[in-house]
Structure 1
Amino acid sequence: MPSSRHVLALAWPMTVKAIFLHGTVVIDAYLVSSLGEAGLAAMGLAAALAGFVLGAILAFANAMQIRTAQAVGTRDPVFLKSALASGMAVSLAVGLAGLTIIWVFGAALIGWLAPTGEIAQQAQQYLSVFSLVILGEAVGQCLSSYFNGCGETKIPLYSFCLSLPVNVACSIVLIHGYWGLPAFGVAGAAMGSVIAVFVQVGFLAFRFFRNSGHILRIPGWHQPGFAATLNRHLAFSLPIAATFLSATVAAHVCTLIYAKLSVNEFAAMTLIAPWIMVTGTVGMQWAQATGIIVAQLLGQKEEEAVLDHFLASAWRGAFVAAGLVSALLLAVCLSANVLYADLSTETRSLLLVFLPVLLILPFPKQSNAICGNTLRASGDTIYVMHIFIWAQWLFRVPATAVAVLYLDLSAVWVLSFLLWEELIKFPAFHRRLWRGDWKRSDISD
């Protein structure tokens, strides 16, 4: 009978990979920073545009991860092949659609947003090369989700551990033109990313064909024909993708509103936001691993007692993960004088004022994440989407706007809206889960 130990076995490689992924952004910025503010601004502008496309690919990859886990649970190889083929088709379609939009509107948008012509030119050079990364990620994220859904979460981690040093080494050489090569500047950082992503995809493809390549030779589809199979996959995936995309857009909108705070308050919010995201990875990956196992159990048509026992064990582990997140945020705030010694005393003191919110936030957030991923695993994706979207756009975004633009409330009140959002979602998630319909879901269609 699966327990929290099985969740941990799946979650820790996913967590390490996610943290490494956040760290890569920091490393790339550090490597480009040697070119000066113009190069850094150009990379940031181009990466922001490409980030929307990569975010969409990742959103659909998360949906495919659950669909794959359902197929693994049913032990139906046709279902498994169908999930992979449908997921790959959707991922490539999203990547190509995003690239088309960038090719058509990217230059004009960069020219409008860039403060100088030099920055605009460098951003376009970076983006033209980085387009290959988007295509590589469309394939790589799909294969990573396939392995995660199968319970082999270490393979995507190994692929990232292999590609990360390649990315750093190639970027350094190509940015500065070592070993007799031309110095490509900002475009060299994009070239390093291209080389790394193809190394990553090559490793994932090799492991797939070695471990599971036989499923591609199985005749037939899970639905009558591939078109019907793809439509069924989209019906499952779109609500999950919409949830992730809505969260991304809402976060960007709130960040723009934060800019209207005082300089010290905005600086404090800017400092704490990445820490909330990075430390929260621990809890979110635990919840996703829980959803993978629930999807597999539902595919196996396990008895309700087994599902209840597993979820209770996973929930206990989730609160341990939430406690760890709180402890990490506490350490960050208490170390503010060391980490941010160059900043003003007022800015550093605000991090301590944030502490009550930061210490409580992980617990309802973690519990909601367990509910959301469990309901998604049962196919109840539209209900979960509604909870997230309405909580974001009917509460957090307008409340943030009113508090900052009209009421002139302090930053700690603005940050507290993250906690209030989780408390608003709490009864809707838990009432749905406790009703128990998810335990009787038929996910074999």
Structure 2
Amino acid sequence: MFRSSPMPVTEGPTARHVFALAWPMTLKAIMLHGTVVIDTYLVSSLGESAIAAMGLSTAVAGLVLGAILAFANAMQIRTAQAFGTNDRIFLKSVFASGMAVSLAIGLIGLTTIFLFGDALLDVMAPTVEIGSLAKDYLAIFSLVILGEAIGQVISSHFNGCGRTRLPLYSFLLAVPINIASSIVLIHGFLGLPAFGVAGAAMGSAIAVTAQVSYLILRFARVDGGLLRLSGWRQSDFAATLRRHLGFSLPIAATFFSATFAMQVSALIYARLSLNEFAAMTIIGPWIMVTGTVGMQWAQATGIIVAQLLGQKTEKDVLERFLASAWRGAFVASGAVAVLLCAVCLSADWLYSDLGAETRVILLGFLPVLLILPFPKGSNAICGNTLRASGDTVYVMHIFIWAQWLFRIPATAIAVLYLQLPAAWVLSIQLWEEFLKFPAFHRRLHRGDWKDSEVSE
């Protein structure tokens, strides 16, 4: 993507190029996570029980969506490597393998939810009413899972090729549809029944259908010729799929572990008081939505690093680029802190229908949220750079051990045994980032990533 740039080749890309990739990815990711925020906001007028029901059902559905997003993120990096080598057979192989994996995960996930979802919600729901509402929401939201299995693969292909605006356009189409249809279906406007919590899921399903339809049409027009090419990166598709899985599994395991840990944490949060659980359910999506500013900056950095390594770029160019991207990451983290501050300070206005105690708890999260983006953003730059170079197993170990040896046990102890306030429970996420910081930064500064042969 840099061959047409007017700058000298020896200069290389800078933070300006990261921004060009990152801002469409950021808006798209905000809209993706914003689906939950929108649903939560629209449902908040129905009270704490409705919010708790949606929190439980999205915790279950999030396990499957997390697996889909995990492999999509791995595919995005692999696509960037293939794009950097300018090998169209390589590019086709990545796309076909990624789609096969995503559809398999989606179908397995839907089958598992159908068989065991209701039983899990019965166990975790604090009341029968909340469990019933959660089941209604999850049954309809399953359609969103199937749509995302297709849409995330196409979006990752476009992102890896540097066409980050196309996935954004799909969400610009879907979000207004989601808002309008959810309002109508939740409250029963235009002569339709009031479906309540289930109406929010219906709106999301309608929106994802429009989004995926747009992505399929754009792929057919822009890159449909890839699928007509003969041959595979390896000897046949089975070998190509195995190679893709070999690259993707450590990255996918990292993202899936993070999502799974987040959902397990959400289920533990259900044992907090109703007001504290409602506050945690509200702030969680906001942390994800605002955090995409820093996370997508880091992912855009990883895409460019993967492309540069595919082009066998000189080490000094790689070093200058990463230094520039890192300075931009600090600014992005500051922006995230400001956004989270605005959410906490606006709680009385945003969630006026909720109880005063819930809004006070939200305000108490502020000290943690002002610090969290900075170590999190710096760790993300390290992780995405190392993944782009193929150092995926090391990154996987850092994330998995920090989550399962620290975050989950600490959360369980804080909630189930010590019964700490919600703000202290939330602070565990900050301490986890501090725990990962030395391991990430030592590995990156060692410099092995600059010698990676990603075309192998």
> 1:136-156: CA deviations, max 9, x gaps?
211111101111111111111
Deviates more, 1:230-239 or 1:396-405: 396-405
SS at match of 1:223: coil
Residue 425, structure 1, aligned to residue 440, structure 2: no
> 1:339-389: CA deviations, max 9, x gaps?
66775589738846852x433332221111000000111111111010011
How far the C-alpha of 1:332 sits from its partner, in A, is 4.1
Contact 1:268-1:351 within 8 A present in 2 as well: no
> 1:150-202: CA deviations, max 9, x gaps?
11111111101112222333444555666666766655544433332221111
Q: Percent identity?
A: 72
Residue 348, structure 1, aligned to residue 355, structure 2: no
SS at match of 2:234: coil
Contact 1:42-1:120 within 8 A present in 2 as well: yes
Residue 64, structure 1, aligned to residue 75, structure 2: yes
Distance 1:91 1:412 in 2: 36
Residue 142, structure 1, aligned to residue 130, structure 2: no
Distance 1:361 1:35 in 2: 31
Q: In structure 2, give the amino acid aligned to 1:287.
A: A
> 1:249-308: CA deviations, max 9, x gaps?
323444455566678876765565444333222111100110111111111111111111
Distance 1:330 1:126 in 2: 30
Evaluate the alpha carbon distance shift between residue 92 and residue 406 of structure 1 in structure 2; reply closer, same or farther with a 3 A threshold. Answer: closer
Q: Residues 3-152 of structure 1 correspond to what in structure 2 (within 5 A)?
A: 3-31=14-42, 44-110=55-121, 112=123, 124=135, 126-152=137-163
Question: What is residue 292 of structure 1 aligned with on the other side?
Answer: 303
- May I ask how many residue pairs the two structures share in their alignment? 444
Deviates more, 1:121-130 or 1:75-84: 121-130
Contact 1:292-1:377 within 8 A present in 2 as well: yes
Q: In structure 1, give the amino acid aligned to 2:241.
A: L
Evaluate the alpha carbon distance shift between residue 171 and residue 330 of structure 1 in structure 2; reply closer, same or farther with a 3 A threshold. Answer: closer
Residue 324, structure 1, aligned to residue 335, structure 2: yes
Q: Residues 16-415 of structure 1 correspond to what in structure 2 (within 5 A)?
A: 16-31=27-42, 44-110=55-121, 112=123, 124=135, 126-174=137-185, 187-257=198-268, 272-335=283-346, 344=356, 348=360, 351=363, 354-355=366-367, 357-403=368-414, 413-415=424-426
How far the C-alpha of 1:205 sits from its partner, in A, is 1.1
Evaluate the alpha carbon distance shift between residue 253 and residue 444 of structure 1 in structure 2; reply closer, same or farther with a 3 A threshold. Answer: same
Evaluate the alpha carbon distance shift between residue 187 and residue 393 of structure 1 in structure 2; reply closer, same or farther with a 3 A threshold. Answer: closer
Evaluate the alpha carbon distance shift between residue 279 and residue 223 of structure 1 in structure 2; reply closer, same or farther with a 3 A threshold. Answer: same
Distance 2:56 2:266 in 1: 16
SS at match of 1:442: coil
Distance 2:444 2:330 in 1: 17
Distance 1:312 1:231 in 2: 35
Distance 1:114 1:69 in 2: 43
Unaligned segments of structure 2, at least 5 residues: 1-11
SS at match of 1:302: coil
Evaluate the alpha carbon distance shift between residue 152 and residue 174 of structure 1 in structure 2; reply closer, same or farther with a 3 A threshold. Answer: same
How far the C-alpha of 1:419 sits from its partner, in A, is 2.8
How far the C-alpha of 1:236 sits from its partner, in A, is 1.4
Deviates more, 1:387-396 or 1:224-233: 387-396
Evaluate the alpha carbon distance shift between residue 10 and residue 250 of structure 1 in structure 2; reply closer, same or farther with a 3 A threshold. Answer: same
Q: In structure 2, give the amino acid aligned to 1:25.
A: V
Contact 1:11-1:289 within 8 A present in 2 as well: yes
> 1:204-254: CA deviations, max 9, x gaps?
111111111111111111111111111111111111221122222323444
Distance 1:344 1:192 in 2: 29
Contact 1:79-1:221 within 8 A present in 2 as well: yes
SS at match of 1:152: coil
Q: In structure 2, give the amino acid aligned to 1:379.
A: G
Distance 1:31 1:413 in 2: 28
Contact 2:347-2:362 within 8 A present in 1 as well: no
Evaluate the alpha carbon distance shift between residue 213 and residue 104 of structure 1 in structure 2; reply closer, same or farther with a 3 A threshold. Answer: same
What CA RMSD, in Å, does the superposition of the two structures yield over aligned residues?
3.3
SS at match of 1:444: coil
Contact 1:69-1:295 within 8 A present in 2 as well: yes
